[in-house]
């Protein structure tokens, strides 16, 4: 708690007109190839946001650059109106499942507890209070029974739920998730969608890389469409037009059904 106070995180009230995330002029290159060009975008103060775009559009790179995990060539990033460095305690991150070694000798509860390390403080013991909070997060995704199982012995969907629980345990205000619904079973999908709605109802912002255009409209409020550069952004029904999709995906998108209109 003390650490939270000391870190002096600043969250403007919803009517202050400051977005959860403000990106301006962001460009990122891998191996001298420009992956993202001059992205300027302000995320809404709350709601569920989908980042969509074809393979190689730079969706994951966008998340990583915003989180400071890959260096940006140019650009400025602000979280609730302040630089990322001062607002770390406000962000939670759910990486792609393939990004870690699931053979690692840790249990589901151990992994979820990692989400609280920022709150616990570096070099300090993990106390019962934090374990209890981690357990509660696991319970929220329906995984309390499997808390002590080694993570490699969980199914893909269960592993994804562990990652989500870890983010919940962070008690963040702004969440970044990289394809949380990719390749999960139906039960896991329902659980994750329910948690996303809860987070939204609690006034938090969730920004998800999402691969399935069919389900964007039924789950998300806002969309950021990328194809190396910003194609469109805004409320789903304004931004997710056939015209924009064709600009992002090329002719492949022309046959797509986009939910009710």
Q: How far is CA 43 from the centre of its chain?
A: 12
Contact 113, 165 (CB under 8 A): no
Closest separation in Å from C-beta 213 to other proteins = 27
Taking the least distance from each CB to other proteins, the nearer of 109 and 231 is: 109
Contact 50, 224 (CB under 8 A): yes
Among 114, 182, 193, 258, binds other proteins (CB under 8 A): 114
CA distance 220 to 197: 9
Q: Which among 112, 89, 91 has a CA at the least distance from the CA of 3?
A: 89
Closest separation in Å from C-beta 103 to other proteins = 8
Contact 212, 184 (CB under 8 A): no
CA distance 229 to 57: 8
Residues 53-112 that bind other proteins (CB under 8 A): 64, 67-69, 85, 88, 91, 93, 95, 99-101, 104-107, 110-111
Among 136, 150, 215, 241, binds other proteins (CB under 8 A): 150
Q: Does 255 bind other proteins (CB under 8 A)?
A: no
CA distance 80 to 97: 28
Q: Does 120 bind other proteins (CB under 8 A)?
A: yes
Taking the least distance from each CB to other proteins, the nearer of 14 and 69 is: 69
Choices 119-127, 139-147, 196-204, 220-228; region in contact with other proteins by CB under 8 A: 119-127
Number of Cβ within a 10 Å radius of residue 246: 15
Tell me how many residues contact other proteins (CB under 8 A): 29
Secondary structure class of 223 (helix, strand, coil) = strand
Closest separation in Å from C-beta 184 to other proteins = 19
Q: Tokens 């650009």 — which residue? A: 75
Choices 11-19, 44-52, 118-126, 232-240; region in contact with other proteins by CB under 8 A: 118-126
% helix, strand, coil for the chain, step of 5 = 45, 25, 35
Among 17, 152, 183, 250, binds other proteins (CB under 8 A): 152
Residues 204-243 that bind other proteins (CB under 8 A): none
Number of Cβ within a 10 Å radius of residue 233: 21
Taking the least distance from each CB to other proteins, the nearer of 100 and 182 is: 100
Closest separation in Å from C-beta 1 to other proteins = 17
Tokens of 58: 């730079």
CA distance 24 to 175: 19
Binding stretches for other proteins (CB under 8 A): 64, 67-69, 85, 88, 91, 93, 95, 99-101, 104-107, 110-111, 114-115, 117-118, 120, 122-123, 126, 150, 152, 166
């Amino acid at each position: 708690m003390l650490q939270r106070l000391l870190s002096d995180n600043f969250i403007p009230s919803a009517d202050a007109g400051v977005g959860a995330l403000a990106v301006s002029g962001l460009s990122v290159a891998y191996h001298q190839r420009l992956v993202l060009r001059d992205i300027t975008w302000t995320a809404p103060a709350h709601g569920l946001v989908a980042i969509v775009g074809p393979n190689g559009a730079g969706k994951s790179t966008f998340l990583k650059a915003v989180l400071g995990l890959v260096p940006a060539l140019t650009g400025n990033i602000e979280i609730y109106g302040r630089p990322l460095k001062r607002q770390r305690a406000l962000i939670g991150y759910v990486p792609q499942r393939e990004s870690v070694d699931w053979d690692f000798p840790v249990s589901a509860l151990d992994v979820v507890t990692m989400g609280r390390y920022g709150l616990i403080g570096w070099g300090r013991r993990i106390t019962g209070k934090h374990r209890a909070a981690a357990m509660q997060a696991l319970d929220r995704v329906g995984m309390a029974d499997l808390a002590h199982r080694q993570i490699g012995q969980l199914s893909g969907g269960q592993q994804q739920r562990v990652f989500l629980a870890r983010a919940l345990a962070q008690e963040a205000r702004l969440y970044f998730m990289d394809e949380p619904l990719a390749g999960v079973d139906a039960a896991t999908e329902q659980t994750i969608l329910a948690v996303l709605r809860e987070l939204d109802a609690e006034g938090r912002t969730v920004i998800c890389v999402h691969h399935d255009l069919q389900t964007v409209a039924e789950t998300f409020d806002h969309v950021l469409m990328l194809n190396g550069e910003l194609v469109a952004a805004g409320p789903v029904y304004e931004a997710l037009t056939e015209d924009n999709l064709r600009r992002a995906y090329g002719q492949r998108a022309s046959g797509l059904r986009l939910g009710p209109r």
